[in-house]
Amino acid sequence: MLKINIKKYLLCSLLFIIIITGCGKKDNKNEKQDDNNQNNIEEKGAKELSIINPDSNSRPIAVMINNNYQAVPNHAGLQDAYIVYEINVEGGLTRLLALFKDKNTAKIGSVRSSRPYFLDYVLENDAIYTHFGYSDQAKNDISSLGINNVNFLIDAGSWRDTSLNVAYEHTAFTNIENILTTATNKGYRLTTEEKTLLNYTTDEIELNKYDNSIVANNISINHSTSQNTSYTYDNNLKIYKRFVNNNPHTDAITKEQYTTKNIIIVRLEVYSNDGYYQNLNNTGVGDGYYITNGYAIPIKWHKPSRESKTTYTDLNGDEIKINDGNTFIQIQPINEQLVIN
């Protein structure tokens, strides 16, 4: 009996050692896996936005860009803007409002005069507004709203590129250094405590995961019978190439076609009080689209007042996240044709 008990004892001891050793190996494996997970989290957290520095408190600079058919071939500097608004003006044309932050762009323009509703988008970005003259209403509103502006009609900081074969009114250009110098001399605040307008993320947003998403390889946005903006998706680069009236929209300095990562379309009423100057019904709530990476989803825009930021939500009411990259915000008359396919 004693001999049998010893064998049982030795067998149990051996099994106990195997179990303990096995558990130790499993724990080591789990520890390594936990370490890898932690490293992945740290690497993900270390990824930073490329379009802007979220830690920078530099105040944005907004520049009024001429978009007349004579001016388009001579556009310069838009590739450095992190947001560009396109909005109707008189005569069926549009103008652009380009926003720059922490850039040192050497040539921007051509610069043109202000219209009052552009001020709403200057305000929502807490930007220093750069323009060349204004309409009477824009002049009054700049004063009454207390907007820090650099007006090349009276302020230093612009030059005329007379080498261009265009009318003199389309030849005014500037750069970031000149704007900041003039803004400093005028005593303007150069920093901001405001959050950025858009809800950027470093995670790649794929809109095809939404139930209501549609393919968006080609986008055609009519602003009037004479002004069309369109985009074509480059699936390899995951960006949209921009066209004006079916012609590639290129930079006069780099000779490269302008591209964008994101397109936001805001559809609203554009009207005229006097049969000439335009105005917008841009406060309240309205419809639009967010487009990125070859897909589009319907969205709602919300702007409670002229001074407040526009927020963009999906149809569930959640603020949309915007892919890391530049954005063109197309503010389109609601009665004009929009094609997304």
Q: Which two tokens stand for residue 257?
A: 């076609």
| pLDDT at res. 47 | 80
Q: Which two tokens stand for residue 104?
A: 């040192």
- For 8-65, how does the pLDDT look when each residue is reduced to its tens digit (9 = 90+)? 443 444 444 333 444 444 444 444 455 554 444 444 445 899 999 999 999 999 999 9
Ordered by where they begin, the domains of the chain are 61-185 (3.50.90.10), 200-263+274-340 (3.50.90.10)
- For 140-195, how does the pLDDT look when each residue is reduced to its tens digit (9 = 90+)? 999 999 999 999 999 999 999 999 999 999 999 999 999 999 999 999 999 999 99
SS3 state of residue 41: helix
Cα 153-154-160 angle, rounded to 5 deg: 50
- For 268-292, how does the pLDDT look when each residue is reduced to its tens digit (9 = 90+)? 999 998 999 999 999 999 999 999 9
DSSP of 175-242, one letter per residue? -HHHHHHHHHHTT---B--PPPSS-EESSPP-GGGSTT-EE-SEEEEEEETTEEEEEEEETTTTEEEE
CA distance 111 to 62: 11
Sign of CA dihedral 68, 94, 81, 187: positive
Residue ranges of alpha helices (H) inside the chain are: 2-46, 118-123, 136-144, 176-185
- For 192-241, how does the pLDDT look when each residue is reduced to its tens digit (9 = 90+)? 999 999 999 999 999 999 999 999 999 999 999 999 999 999 999 999 99
- For 65-96, how does the pLDDT look when each residue is reduced to its tens digit (9 = 90+)? 999 999 999 999 999 999 999 999 999 999 99
Q: Is the pTM of this model over 0.85?
A: yes
Number of H helices and E strands in the chain, helices first, is 4, 24
Sign of CA dihedral 94, 264, 314, 41: negative
